[in-house]
Amino acid sequence: MKLQKILNRLQKLHPKEIDLSLGRVKNLCKKLGNPQEKLKCISIVGTNGKYSTIQVIRAILKEGNINVNIYTSPHIQKINERFIYNDLEISDDNLVKLLSEVEEVNAGEPITYFEILTAAYFHYAKNFDNINLIESGLFHRFDATNIVNENLASIITAIGLDHLDWLPKNEQTIEKIVYEKTSSLLNSKIIIAKQANRETLDSIKKSISSNNSKKIIFNEQFSFTENENGFIYYEDEIGGLKLPKPNLIGEFQIQNIATAIATIRSLKFQIDDKHIKNGITKIKSIARLQEIKNGKIKDLCKNNKIFVDGSHNPLGAKVLNEYLESLDCNKHIILGMMSNKDHDEYMKYFNNIASLTTIDIPNQSSAIKGKELKQKLSRFPNINYKESLQDAIKSIPVSKNDIILITGSLYLAGEVLNLN
């Protein structure tokens, strides 16, 4: 209760949810003694794959007894997920103390919710001599995380079209998004993950052309191949690695794993091949093609597999569908999305599905209503609307071996996992 009261107050410190600027967070951090200047950071920017890449790095470094702090957003089930120190979520009591202290130092000055949370993360992180894995929020150039002085490395994951409503109509292009995400990266090392196409990669190279960092680029300085039995062969300038089948599913997750390995090996941590091989079989990942294996939601679909995935943009839909297409079974999608997303563009990749059921996302005033979403996607022949997730699952006429996928929003994914 104490925690929620503080969070409610912090959300009211600024009239806007997002107001792209670095001035407010810099001022608050200055009052806190500039904790961000004392940290060893790896920054992660991009559209998709940031969270998963962080979790791979976390798992591998843990095998080598290297502690990490992690800052990510948004959270899936509870806000503590955003604050990881020494590989553990911060406790409610410690988070209350931390936010209360930062709130007092801020003294009522206007600051956005994300900015004050970011300052709080930095303030607590200074107590640990750990590597900090920092996920950028919206874009990067004016994101609150972009105030560190020194990076060990910057990772650019897959970039695609998303958050277009924060850009002027005439600037809603991949080139502009690339610029906002990559043009202000610090000089260190820049690891570039596999991109959707050559045009995006060329835009990234152009954006960082004046940056003196060493560039480590997929298919140039590192690569991977998969064989039929699930093993992966990874290769970079150091040498090759035969890797076991990871505990994440989907070819896009192999891309994230390769990017994480390239980062770790380029930084010459005290990590050997055994740590990498063991680490990729122990990755923690929430709402990224996560199979629900037990609980209330699983009970509703009995013997059929059910997955939840928080993807919400076209690039995410594309790679998600690529995984679905690899399965020899009927696929049923339950969909809930936020109003500001491109619903038609997201669903255009899912042409080979047995049914589509739209639902309302509970507790999200900014979500599109399931009825309206059904109308927008009426081109799908087997489309239905159900108010609740439970009703949606019960209504799907599944046969043996059919799978159900719940997708369209991280907020929906959080509601699903909370219900379970």
Token output for 30 = 């200055």
Q: Which CATH fold would you assign to the domain 2-279?
A: UDP-N-acetylmuramoyl-L-alanine:D-glutamate ligase (3.40.1190)
pLDDT at 178: 93
Instruction: Profile the chain (420 residues) by mean pLDDT over runs of 10 residues.
Output: 95 89 97 97 95 98 97 96 97 98 98 97 97 92 92 95 72 87 94 96 97 97 88 95 93 95 96 97 94 94 93 92 94 96 95 96 94 97 95 94 96 93
DSSP string, 295-347: SHHHHHHTTSEEEEE---SHHHHHHHHHHHHTSSS-EEEEE--BTTS-HHHHH
Tally of helices (H runs) and strands (E runs) in the chain: 15, 17
Could you give the CA distance from residue 154 to residue 162 in angstroms, rounded to a whole number? 20
pLDDT per residue as tens digits for the range 320-370? 999 999 999 999 999 999 999 999 999 999 989 999 999 999 989 999 999
pLDDT at 420: 84
Domain borders along the chain are 2-279, 290-419
Could you give the CA distance from residue 371 to residue 374 in angstroms, rounded to a whole number? 5
Could you give the CA distance from residue 412 to residue 392 in angstroms, rounded to a whole number? 13
Token output for 231 = 């093993």
Could you give the CA distance from residue 20 to residue 16 in angstroms, rounded to a whole number? 10
pLDDT at 251: 87
Say how far residue 319 (Cα) sits from the centre of its chain.
14
Query: In sequence order, what are the beta bridge partners of 48?
Result: 158
Could you give the CA distance from residue 320 to residue 318 in angstroms, rounded to a whole number? 5
pLDDT at 166: 66
Report helix angle 174-182 to 198-207, nearest 10: 40
Token output for 313 = 């943009």
Domains 2-279 and 290-419 fall in the same CATH topology: no
User: What is the pairing mode between strands 290-291 and 222-226?
Assistant: unpaired
From residue 16, how far is each of 11, 24, 137, 177 by CA, in Å? 9, 13, 15, 21
Q: How many CB atoms lie within 10 A of CB 107?
A: 8
Query: Which CATH superfamily hosts domain 290-419?
Result: Mur ligase, C-terminal domain (3.90.190.20)
* 3 state DSSP class of 157: coil
- Burial label, 161 (beta-carbon count in 10 A; 0-12, 13-18, 19+): middle
Could you give the CA distance from residue 185 to residue 190 in angstroms, rounded to a whole number? 8
From residue 237, how far is each of 27, 129, 212 by CA, in Å? 42, 29, 19
Could you give the CA distance from residue 254 to residue 251 in angstroms, rounded to a whole number? 5
* 3 state DSSP class of 166: helix
Could you give the CA distance from residue 16 to residue 110 in angstroms, rounded to a whole number? 10
CA dihedral 259, 261, 266, 271 (to 10 degrees): 160
> Of the candidates 356, 316, 336, which has an alpha carbon nearest to the alpha carbon of residue 413?
336
Could you give the CA distance from residue 71 to residue 81 in angstroms, rounded to a whole number? 8
pLDDT at 404: 97
pLDDT at 174: 85
pLDDT at 164: 65
